[in-house]
Chain A
Amino acid sequence: MSQPKEKPRDSFFQDDQVQSEMGFTSFIRHIFPYMWIHKPQLLSLIVIVVFYAIAGRLLPILFGHAIDEGIKKNVLTVVTHVALGYLVLEIIRSALYFGQSYGIQKLGNRILFEIREKLISHVQALPLVYFDKNPVGRTVTRVTNDVAALGEMFSMGFTAIFVNGVEMIAILVAMSLISVRLTLVTLAIAPALTWISLRLSRRIREVVREAKKKLATINAFTAESLNGMKVLQLFDKTRERQQEFNRHSEEYKSLSLKSVKLFATLWPILEFFNTTTITTALFFGGLYYQDFGLTIGSLSAFLLLVQSFFHPLRVILERYTQFQNSLASADRVFSLLKECPEPLEGEALPPHRLRGEIELQHLGHRYAPANPLALNDVNLKIKAGESLALVGRTGSGKTTLISLLQRLYSPTSGAILVDGQALDKVSPREWRKRVGVVLQDNFIFRGTIASNISLDNPVITRERIEWAAREAGCDRLIGSRELGLDSKVEERGNNLSVGERQLIAFARVLAFDPDILILDEATANIDSLSEQLIQQATERVIQGRTSIIIAHRLSTILGCDRIAVLDKGRLIEVGSHAELIEQQGKYFALYQSQFRESGGETSVDANTPVPPSIG
């Protein structure tokens, strides 16, 4: 039903990037525990990063050394040694680079795997209320894309900043080792320029985010147009749609150009920074190098170091921009992990088979505080082994009642007792193992028919699957397919009919052998042969189990021991078919309007014998 969510915004294709609440430190705090699990790898990576940075700084120093000790003093052997050392150092540095780059990403991928594992089990532990509020796509995106974005942030952002930061420190240290005073003079304007660049980077970040949003809009707009192409063409709306698209496209271009412009401004600023530092170093170094205790060689090394200062700074600024943009992803991932899971602890059920006596006491439920009562003060005793048909119009509370019985929701008021034990104290997982469910439209997983019967549960043997399929009347369904039980089933069971999906669900119930059965009969058009098979399967599964059935077909209703009539959330009539017909109440009216008006042939009166086959 219509459930207005948040206030709609101007454009409907906005990316659901919430303004990130998460800052840099908060991100570190969240991600750190995941990293700390891998302490040995983490620490050895840090060591590699540090050595890599040092190795890179040794190169210009070696070059300076060659000038001073070799060239200036005319000692060729020193130059040869330096050249060899240079070669060896480069090889070591390449190896360190490889180790660092691969190691960090590998560690990152492992951490992401662990986060995904945690997320998927967390998601499955969330109460159904969560899934009512959040579309499937959004949740899936959290587990997949957002974690991937988090990973990119980890390897491209966080570690790049760390690696380049270490490199900058190494450069500073190397420069200071050559001359502290010259370093101070050279980098005097660095803080001011860094500040300006940071400001600019922040502006870039905003524009890039805008552009990304616009791109998401374009993509959503295109996807929607493709999905609704038939409607657009039927209503001759293509021209308007094209104009709208061109507008989005144009806006995206101008946003992209804005970011191009900002980047085009940022780089010259950094370049200017580069030139200033080099010229300062040249000028002061050149004039006073002897006062600073420098030689031509060490001055050359210094100049090379100053020039390399530019690169890591650029990377840090660049990555910082991306990093900030992906914080939103991290925020979404961690806030999903903070969603409260449904409590799964509770009393155990007796290990033996439940008798299946169910008592509803003043049961009431509403889905949200603002909603009306979906179920209102329902009192009912269902005897062990009894089959009960739930009858009522759409919205009368039948589905709510079975959802409460499955403990998919906690009732707002009242209680459910099973064999005298209060259900809300029992562990929901324990309880659900004892309840089998066949729904109107049964969710079918991608895989095979067999995997859908066993739900990939290794405990259920192949023999059991075969038996269950046979018992549920899947013979025709399986026989008509080349691979039989191992036939592929497409996403959402697209290559199966509603009836076939229901038969598989029956087989599933039989394979799991629950103590209690809940069945929501299909209303959709099912061909008559499937209809018959389903009828037989129903008879088979309700045998010897307490069964609660939302019944749509007269034959099913007649086959149940008792009928409970719901109306606007209240239980208004309970009794056998004959009793209720005699009462001439709501059931009688329903029966009259739904079964008698159209046909004539099927007019059954109170004396119609109950088919002996069921119940």
Chain B
Amino acid sequence: MSSLPPGNLTSSSPPADEKLLRHPFLYYFRKDWKLFAAGMVALFLTNSFDAIPPYLIGMAINQIADQAGWRSLGETILLMIAASACLAVCRYWWRIFWGRFHHGVAEDLRNRIFDKFLDLGPSYYQKKPVGELMSLMTNDVNSFRMAIGPGMLILADAIFILMIVPPLMISLSASWTWKTLILMPIIPPLIARVLKLILDNYRKQQNKFAEMSGAAQEIVSGVRIIKSYAQELNQTRLFNSFSRNFEFACNDVARVDAYFTPVMEFGVATGSVILLLIGAPEVMAGTVTVGAFFSFYQYIQRMIWPMTAIGIAFTHIQQGRASFSRILDLLKTSNDVPDEGAAQMNHFDSLEVRGLTFTYPQGEQPILKDLSFAIRAGETIGIVGPIGSGKSTLVDLLCRLYPVPSETIYYNDTPVEQIKKNSLRRLVSLVPQDAFLFSKKIQENIALSRKEWTMDQVKNMCELVNIDDEISDIPDTYDAYLGERGVNLSGGQKQRLTIARALMADSPIVIFDDSLSAVDASTEKNILASLRNRYLADRRKVTVILVSHRIATLKWADRIMVLNDGRLEAFASHEELVNSNATYRQLVELQNEHRSHA
């Protein structure tokens, strides 16, 4: 019986909050209501204090015109400074409150999304390209933040200014107010329209940029061929056509963008002209002072922003909603492999598959057809079959990465869906087909499956897979980082590290999904030999499942499964198969003929 390493706690995301899903804005307002309210109050005060100076300047101009003397002028100026100081304080605080509020929202949303990512299984990732999911995390979170933060903020800002400034204007002159502001309401929809155009064009520009990047990617990746065929000029011409399309798309954005400011200032310009025409006669008649005239002129200028702001705010909020609906789609998705089982497996006796037929959730054709077999602890099993015969699907299902039809796969006579997920993970270690390593230290990558580990164990596993020497040649050895800015490993080296990582887990079942394809034949032979002589010798009951194309590898197994078009064609030892199975025999002959030389 193999003992299992201590398990980790299961990761389980908190259930998506119903309120969040239905009314995201309200949800966050309520969640951080103190910050939200404090921000609103500070913003309102800011706008109030901000409205005072034009009034005071007008007053000062009257005092100057009336030669009121430096004392009363000084008082007005002191008032102005006081208002400005209050303004500064309030402005500081609303920025702080709002900043905390919307950055907090973004953090919460980011964590929720990431949590969901970790929860969803491979069938989700099969239909969603990584780029699309990344854009949820980057663009959509930010656009929602912009909506609930700056978007809501400038909307509130605009509303407050509209609450404060027009009454002040009316106090100066009611008839001027409606006459000068009459054209203002046209501005928000115009601004929204221009912004929509900008965004549409911007999206087009993004697409052209992506196409251009693709072209550059092709050229740089294929530079060897381009050079070999001296096709540099041709490729540059090809790239230029993409580059030019991008340029034109950028120009479209720039053109619409250039409309923005004139539209924004249109209302104010007309308002100012109207004021000059209707206001001046009244000042001449002496019914209104020059100072009031000046204040009014300034208040008209103050109206540019709220009008523009409403347009901007609506655009932000609209975008934020669109982004949130994308985020919502993700958060609403539930894992198709729920962790509902409770059974714990502390040892492994047998694995049995009974009548397993499997179709991928979004597929039409079944990949596996009525598969049945049994494996006992300690066996070494080979799996072989042409591409598309269902080998990888089978091992993925053994790990329950996809929704396994109920009561088809049994570990120790317990259906796999009744086993607690983390217990199953400790029971089975899979070395996936593509060798994926993290941008961490080599030792951390190998010890990924363990909470506690020693350097000796790591070295041991690396010796086992014949990579210890090569790691020792790297300057930082096991401390070296992997990845783009670290050590670049060859495909074979990566594969060997992923094997070491799986062995490190010390699970009773180890599955190799074509994990030695990039390793040359003699190294593969060495690895398999040390696996048998050193690893399995100490762990007699460890079960090994090997998916491979190479007969030399398969020969090593006690029994070999021949899969063909999703069916189990045969399941017997190498010798028996050579004699009885045509598919297998053909494979043997083919590989002998084209035996790799290098």
Q: Tell me which of A26-34, A171-179, A245-253, A315-323 binds B.
A: A245-253
Q: In the complex, what distance in Å separates the CA atom of A422 from the CA atom of B235?
A: 29
Closest beta carbon of chain B to A487's beta carbon, Å: 17
Q: Is A450 an interface residue (CB 8 A)?
A: no
Closest beta carbon of chain A to B183's beta carbon, Å: 13
Closest beta carbon of chain A to B579's beta carbon, Å: 15
Interface pair A282/B60, CB less than 8 Å apart: yes
Interface pair A253/B107, CB less than 8 Å apart: yes
Q: In the complex, what distance in Å separates the CA atom of A187 from the CA atom of B589?
A: 93
Q: Is A98 an interface residue (CB 8 A)?
A: yes
What 0/1 readout, one digit per residue, does chain A (292-331) give for beta carbons within 8 Å of chain B? 0000100110011001000000000000000000000000
A2-B470 contact given A120-B219, A223-B130, CB 8 Å threshold: yes
Residue of B nearest to A254 (CB): B103
Q: In the complex, what distance in Å separates the CA atom of A1 from the CA atom of B107?
A: 40
Complex contacts, A462 vs chain B, CB 8 Å: none
A71-B77 contact given A124-B236, A131-B223, CB 8 Å threshold: no
Q: Is B355 an interface residue (CB 8 A)?
A: no
Interface pair B61/A299, CB less than 8 Å apart: yes
What 0/1 readout, one digit per residue, does chain A (499-529) give for beta carbons within 8 Å of chain B? 0000000001000100000000001010010
Q: In the complex, what distance in Å separates the CA atom of A235 from the CA atom of B427?
A: 11
Interface pair B80/A275, CB less than 8 Å apart: yes
Residue of A nearest to B493 (CB): A2
Interface pair A264/B91, CB less than 8 Å apart: yes
Interface pair B220/A136, CB less than 8 Å apart: yes
A106-B284 contact given A12-B485, A239-B11, CB 8 Å threshold: no
Interface pair B276/A79, CB less than 8 Å apart: yes
What 0/1 readout, one digit per residue, does chain A (62-99) give for beta carbons within 8 Å of chain B? 01001100111010100110110011001000100110
Interface pair A245/B125, CB less than 8 Å apart: no
Q: Is A588 an interface residue (CB 8 A)?
A: no
Q: Is B399 an interface residue (CB 8 A)?
A: yes
Interface pair B234/A457, CB less than 8 Å apart: yes
Closest beta carbon of chain A to B416's beta carbon, Å: 14
A429-B60 contact given A74-B284, A97-B262, A602-B593, CB 8 Å threshold: no
A278-B247 contact given A76-B281, A123-B223, A264-B91, CB 8 Å threshold: no
Q: Is B520 an interface residue (CB 8 A)?
A: yes
What 0/1 readout, one digit per residue, does chain B (345-358) give for beta carbons within 8 Å of chain A? 00000000000000
Interface pair B70/A287, CB less than 8 Å apart: yes
Q: In the complex, what distance in Å separates the CA atom of A235 from the CA atom of B498?
A: 12
Contact of B227 among A63, A109, A432, A491 (CB under 8 A): A432
Q: In the complex, what distance in Å separates the CA atom of A143 from the CA atom of B298?
A: 48
Interface pair A492/B221, CB less than 8 Å apart: yes
Residue of A nearest to B249 (CB): A109
Interface pair B137/A446, CB less than 8 Å apart: no
Interface pair A264/B92, CB less than 8 Å apart: yes
Complex contacts, B338 vs chain A, CB 8 Å: none
Closest beta carbon of chain B to A489's beta carbon, Å: 11
Interface pair B549/A3, CB less than 8 Å apart: no
Interface pair B297/A237, CB less than 8 Å apart: no
* Interface residue SS majority, chain A: helix
Closest beta carbon of chain A to B325's beta carbon, Å: 20
A110-B247 contact given A2-B470, A219-B134, A222-B117, CB 8 Å threshold: yes
Residue of A nearest to B119 (CB): A238
A245-B111 contact given A124-B219, A256-B99, CB 8 Å threshold: yes
Contact of B261 among A79, A97, A239, A492 (CB under 8 A): A97
Closest beta carbon of chain B to A16's beta carbon, Å: 7
Complex contacts, A109 vs chain B, CB 8 Å: 247, 250-251, 254
Residue of B nearest to A10 (CB): B481
Interface pair B217/A140, CB less than 8 Å apart: yes
For chain A, the bracket of interface size reads: 35 or more
Interface pair A128/B474, CB less than 8 Å apart: no
Complex contacts, B272 vs chain A, CB 8 Å: 63, 86, 90
Closest beta carbon of chain A to B142's beta carbon, Å: 9
Closest beta carbon of chain B to A94's beta carbon, Å: 4
Q: Is A531 an interface residue (CB 8 A)?
A: yes
For chain B, the bracket of interface size reads: 35 or more
Q: Is B212 an interface residue (CB 8 A)?
A: yes
Q: Is A162 an interface residue (CB 8 A)?
A: no
Q: Is A533 an interface residue (CB 8 A)?
A: no
Interface pair A226/B107, CB less than 8 Å apart: no
Q: Is B318 an interface residue (CB 8 A)?
A: no
Q: Is B53 an interface residue (CB 8 A)?
A: yes
Q: Is B7 an interface residue (CB 8 A)?
A: yes
Q: In the complex, what distance in Å separates the CA atom of A601 from the CA atom of B578?
A: 14
Q: Is B580 an interface residue (CB 8 A)?
A: no
Q: In the complex, what distance in Å separates the CA atom of A299 from the CA atom of B63?
A: 13
A66-B280 contact given A552-B598, A598-B595, CB 8 Å threshold: yes
Interface pair A6/B485, CB less than 8 Å apart: yes
Interface pair A5/B485, CB less than 8 Å apart: yes
Q: B133, B253, B438: which has the most chain A beta carbons within 10 Å?
A: B438
Complex contacts, B95 vs chain A, CB 8 Å: 260-261, 263-264, 267
Q: Is A406 an interface residue (CB 8 A)?
A: yes
- Which residues 249-276 of A have a CB within 8 angstroms of B? 249-250, 252-253, 256-257, 260-261, 263-265, 267-268, 271-272, 274-275
Q: In the complex, what distance in Å separates the CA atom of A455 from the CA atom of B235?
A: 8
Contact of B399 among A234, A264, A429 (CB under 8 A): A234
Complex contacts, B239 vs chain A, CB 8 Å: 116-117, 120
- Which residues 45-78 of B have a CB within 8 angstroms of A? 53, 57, 60-61, 63-65, 70, 73-74, 76-77
Complex contacts, A155 vs chain B, CB 8 Å: 254
Q: In the complex, what distance in Å separates the CA atom of A112 from the CA atom of B250?
A: 11
Residue of A nearest to B138 (CB): A219
Q: Is B596 an interface residue (CB 8 A)?
A: yes
Interface pair B92/A265, CB less than 8 Å apart: yes
Interface pair B254/A253, CB less than 8 Å apart: no
Q: B80, B217, B436: which has the most chain A beta carbons within 10 Å?
A: B217
Interface pair A139/B220, CB less than 8 Å apart: yes
A80-B238 contact given A225-B117, A237-B448, CB 8 Å threshold: no
Complex contacts, B594 vs chain A, CB 8 Å: 531, 553-554
A602-B595 contact given A242-B115, A435-B228, CB 8 Å threshold: yes
Closest beta carbon of chain A to B382's beta carbon, Å: 16
Complex contacts, A125 vs chain B, CB 8 Å: 232
Q: B8, B74, B218: which has the most chain A beta carbons within 10 Å?
A: B218
A230-B122 contact given A264-B96, A394-B520, A408-B224, CB 8 Å threshold: yes
- Which residues 187-226 of B have a CB within 8 angstroms of A? 209, 212-214, 216-226
Complex contacts, B57 vs chain A, CB 8 Å: 278, 282, 303
What 7 A-B pairs have minimum CB-CB distances, sorted nearest first? Answer: A260-B99, A599-B592, A105-B254, A268-B88, A264-B95, A275-B84, A94-B262
Q: Besides A2-B487, A218-B110, 8 other CB < 8 A contacts? A: A8-B480, A8-B486, A105-B258, A117-B240, A225-B118, A242-B118, A590-B597, A599-B595
A-B residue pairs in contact (CB < 8 Å), sample of 30: A6-B485, A8-B480, A8-B485, A71-B293, A79-B276, A80-B277, A82-B276, A90-B265, A123-B223, A136-B220, A140-B213, A229-B125, A230-B432, A237-B8, A253-B104, A260-B103, A264-B96, A282-B57, A282-B73, A282-B80, A283-B74, A299-B64, A300-B61, A304-B298, A406-B227, A435-B228, A455-B234, A457-B231, A552-B597, A590-B597
